[in-house]
Amino acid sequence: MLRYFTKRLIFLIPVLLGVSIVIFAIVHLAPGDPAEVMLGPSATQEDIGKLREQLGLTKPLYVQYWIFLTNALKGDLGRSIKSNAPVLEEILERFPATLTLASLGMLFAITVGLPLGVLAALKQNTWVDALCSFFALVGFSIPNFWVGLMLMLLLSITIPILPSSGFDSWKNLIMPTIVLGIQTMAVIARMTRSSMLEVIRQDYVRTARAKGISDRLVLTRHILTNVMIPVVTIAGIYFGHSLGGVVITETIFSIPGLGRLIVDAIRAQDYPVVQGGVLFFALCVGIVNLLVDLLYAVLDPRIKAQYRSAK
């Protein structure tokens, strides 16, 4: 099993390599010259040329990429053009906020979405089901930036109970958590409902009932454990998806996280930060996927057996 995961970890390398090539190409083929940006409009052509030399921008692209790659492998993502601080340092400084936000969003999505789906399935075709499904549909359909703005309008301006920006207290986290988690919540609720309806009519649930054990045990031990398997899949996929939402959420609520860092860097044409930030995101998504696979093995002994036999 350990071997399976070591192998999976090694497979992450080509993925990251691919991402690094793509992001490097986009950043370097985009119009705009970082040297010009750094020196401002008053700089002479000569100064700009010198700086380009210094930054290594005059070398052929593949040489530049090679330098970037070998340095990145050593943990050196270069220095920010804007602040001159090491990029990795900037990323690590911003990462806790993003991690907190993403985790809270996921937590929100699961703790609300799962019970909602279970409830809808248990009350199939009643008004409870209709209400839950409606709620899920709405949560899925409205764009999250709009949710963010509406929440802000309601809870920061009309009834000012929550701060609209910053990252100092738990109060700052409430709205961003909802904005980030609402779509995943909706997806989880719908997945849970359909998975429940599928599992409930399985023979093994009838077998469990025939044993005369309590309804609660049938639900938690026999039904939910099986329901969780597809739900975890979808949650894993949407976790990567919601990292995209992090960028929007951090921007709306002025949270100093990784998403904001990258957005600001793009505006400032601070290409080392953009490259490094995106690569870091890709690494996070890869690791989350790996954790999801690990969770599968915990939930489903058949998958565990597969992992075991896969050398």
Query: Would you tell me which residues interact with another protein (CB under 8 A)?
Result: 202-214, 217, 221-222, 225-226, 229, 299-302, 305
| Residue 193 beta carbon to another protein: minimum distance, rounded to whole angstroms | 18
Look at the block and give the residue holding tokens 């929007």: 248
Query: How many other C-beta atoms lie within 10 A of the C-beta of residue 54?
Result: 10
**Of 9 and 305, CB closest to another protein:** 305
117 and 193 in contact (C-beta within 8 Å)? Answer: yes
Q: How far apart are CB 111 and another protein at their closest, in Å?
A: 22
Which of residues 201 and 267 has its CB atom nearest to another protein in the complex?
A: 201
Closer residue to another protein (CB): 7 or 302 = 302
Q: How far is the CB of 201 from another protein (least distance, A)?
A: 8
If you compute the radius of gyration of the chain from its CA atoms, what whole number of angstroms results?
24
Task: Give the bridge partners for 79, in sequence order.
Answer: 86
Of 32 and 212, which has the nearer Cβ to another protein? 212
Q: Pick the closer one to another protein by CB: 80 or 195.
A: 195
Least Å distance, CB 106 to another protein, is 23
SS3 track for 40-88: CCCCCHHHHHHHHHHHCCCCCHHHHHHHHHHHHHCCCCCECCCCCCEHH
Minimal CA–CA distance to 65: which of 102, 127, 22?
Answer: 22
What is the smallest separation between the CB atom of 297 and another protein, expressed in angstroms?
11
